[in-house]
Chains A and B, each alone.
Chain A
Amino acid sequence: MGLRLSPAAPGTYWRLAGFVAAYLLLDWVSYIYPMAHFNITPWNPQPALAIAMLMFYGQRWLPVVVGTILAAEYLIRDTPAPWLVGILAAAVLSLCYGAIAHLLSRRYAVSPQLDSRADVLRLVGVSALGILVTGMLYVAALVAGGSGSLALFPKALLRFWIGDSVGILVFLPLILMLSHPGRRARLATLLARPEALAQGISIVAILLFVFGQTLAEQVKFFYLLFLPLVWISARAGLMGSAVAALLIQTGVIVAVHFTGQPPLTVFEFQTFLIALTIMGLFLGATVDEREQAERALRKSQKLAAAGQMAAALTHELSQPLTALANYARAGQLLVTAGEREQARLEETMQKLVAESRRTADVVRRLRDFLQHGAMRMEAADLAALTERIVADMQAPAAAAGIELRRRVVAAPPPVLADTLQLEIVLRNLLRNAIEATRDAAPGQRTVTLEIAPAADTIRLSCIDGGSGVRSDQLEQIFEPFETSKASGMGMGLAVSRAIVEAHQGRLWAESGPHGVFHLTLPAGEGEHA
């Protein structure tokens, strides 16, 4: 766990006092339907707290756990065990919790943010088996101490196992995840979504429906609670499923309290809840893993964009560098030729300067990209962006005798995008379109940029008056270094496509009588970006 609480650390005693208070509170709240002589209840969340405390602060605080359990026994229980038995039971429980905490932080170490199914599997496995052993020792201690009869051993063990398991499975993942800043931030985002309210309401509504039935019917309809849990796990991952399990558990306890269930039914509910919670945890972890894989993929796409950019710029640098070297050598030769080559020398020097400007341009672009290399996603106003770009490009279009138009089919919603990179792509598409239209017939000398928002994507189309892309070249033109222009290849379609794909969009060409390029971007908040 890394985090260990030393007695000398500031705030140590406040933290421990907080643990003791929280433990006693949870024990008090969950002290319902105690089984006679064994004080075994159907819901025991407080062991999760003890295990988490030992995982975070270290085994040295085991005596605090013993003391707290003892305090709980004598402060909360109606019929506390005799002193000796109570101390024995507290010692057994503390040592078992310590062993579980040890296994979870060392032997079968789980990361607190529980970011894989393997973590969840270890957590569930160690908890379930650990609590089974704990139950055996605890019940045996009570039987040996004369608090309960041996005949009740199996029943007591089963109830202990159910009550403590459900308590740990609901609480421990939640406590572990809340100790992780990233997970806390995720929870805050999740709760801020309107969907969270709807999900919470659905749980409450189903609970009301289930417990509105007659006592005999309630268990029959309990399975309906799987529905909101699946919904929440699928949408919000492990964090969501853990919170949902807590909400369901709390709801069940409150409902049971008000409807006055027989103890046996409560244990049935809790058994159900174990299944529900485990399913939620695994579904949530699977969803999280898929999201992580998607994030990794996006990152690699961004790297691909950077790689494409670097390759394109290398290509663009080597062209002017070759010319520079040639002009410089020519200059040397012309100088030795003396007076009669004066005019050619001057001309060559001018070209040399022009080539070095071209080189500097490429370097500037490389610097812009590197400074901007990590994508800075912000809400981009496509209407304003395209308007500005089209206005900027009017001059070169007019110089080529081409009419450049913008057509907004409907006002686009804001998209999450790196504005500079998107601008590079759009300028590149328009520059290509103008080049392609340069030789078009008089009636067809137009380039149109169209913005058409759809349900979940926004499509930007660049339509030129050129002869279009041959159907067998539709993919080839996106190969690195492919160019259809005679001079200066701009940023290249390969780089443009890499940038668009890093934005979760698509860029493709359509074959036809004229050149048509489509670019789609995901609409909406783009919460995954």
Chain B
Amino acid sequence: MHELRSRYTVFIVDDDLSIRDSLSLILSLKGFRTACFARAEDFLAVLQPDWMGCVVADLKMPGLSGLELQQALAQRQPLLPVVVITAHGDVASSRQAFKANAVDFLEKPFDDEQIVAAIDIAFRRLHDGEAAQAEQQRRAEAVAVLTAREREVMQLLGAGLQNREVAAQLGLSPRTVEVHKARILAKLGIRNVAELVRLVDMPA
């Protein structure tokens, strides 16, 4: 957990100076890296694609609200998790925040433990998301090194066809299909056809 805290950043977006300052202080003492922004627009203006962390945003701010910031982030950096904080929570805005996949919706005044727990969950979610994305990336790169014929064979095997059926469809001998299959498994670093089926089913 603490490894994640030092790897990611907490982006605090709140128009109240004291909230930004005190939150940043307590989080840094708990081992988080923080960055503060007074307005959602300021944050979006400097946000880089490689910034990884959790956004803690106030609901009501001059200019873009926390919910609007959440929508803008869903477009630009869908991986970035958002925790919404507010001094006047209402059911409608909390529902809207959760619908837009907020990690948590905290009403001020909140405990430091509550916000830390929410951020930890957010980091875990981000970490899992990143891992899934990396895995997908690796597979995509592996598929890219297959020959055209091998990709055809992979698609048909992945769809659940037997060697003989694949051979008939592609006009090859079952033996040749067997050779292609062995190469595909080696290149993708998988052991059997079951894994291959799962891979082909995976969304690109």
Contacts and interface: CB of A to CB of B under 8 A. Distances in A.
Contacts of B15: 483, 486-487
Nearest to B88: A315
A124 to B, nearest CB: 52
A481 B88 contact: yes
A334 interface: yes
Interface string A113-156: 00000000000000000000000000000000000000000000
B108 A333 contact: no
Contacts of A319: 16, 18-19, 87, 108
Nearest to B30: A333
Interface string A467-501: 00000000000001111111100000000000000
A487 B23 contact: no
A326 B87 contact: no
B22 A481 contact: no
Interface centre among A325, A330, A348 (most CB of B within 10 A): A330
A358 B18 contact: yes
Interface size class of A (residues with CB under 8 A): 20 to 34
A480 B17 CA distance: 21
A486 B19 contact: no
Contacts of B112: 325-326, 329
B21 A318 contact: no
Interface in A320-335: 320-327, 329-330, 333-334
B60 A482 contact: yes
Contact of B22 (A314, A315, A330, A486): A330
B108 A318 contact: yes
A333 B22 contact: no
Contacts of A405: none
B20 to A, nearest CB: 9
Interface string A342-358: 00000010010011001
Interface in B1-33: 15-19, 21-23, 25-26, 29-30
Nearest to A355: B18
Nearest to B16: A319
A318 B18 contact: no
Nearest to A484: B62
Contact of B18 (A311, A329, A351, A483): A351
A316 B39 CA distance: 19
B111 interface: yes
Contacts of B29: 330, 333-334
For B17, B39, B87, B88, the residue with the greatest tally of chain A CB atoms inside 10 Å of its CB is B87
Contact of A481 (B18, B23, B26, B60): B60
Nearest to B62: A484
Contacts of B107: 318
8 contacts: A315-B87, A323-B21, A324-B109, A326-B25, A330-B26, A333-B30, A334-B29, A483-B15
The 4 closest A-B pairs by CB, nearest first: A326-B22, A323-B18, A321-B109, A323-B22
Interface of B: 15-19, 21-23, 25-26, 29-30, 38-39, 60, 62, 87-88, 107-112
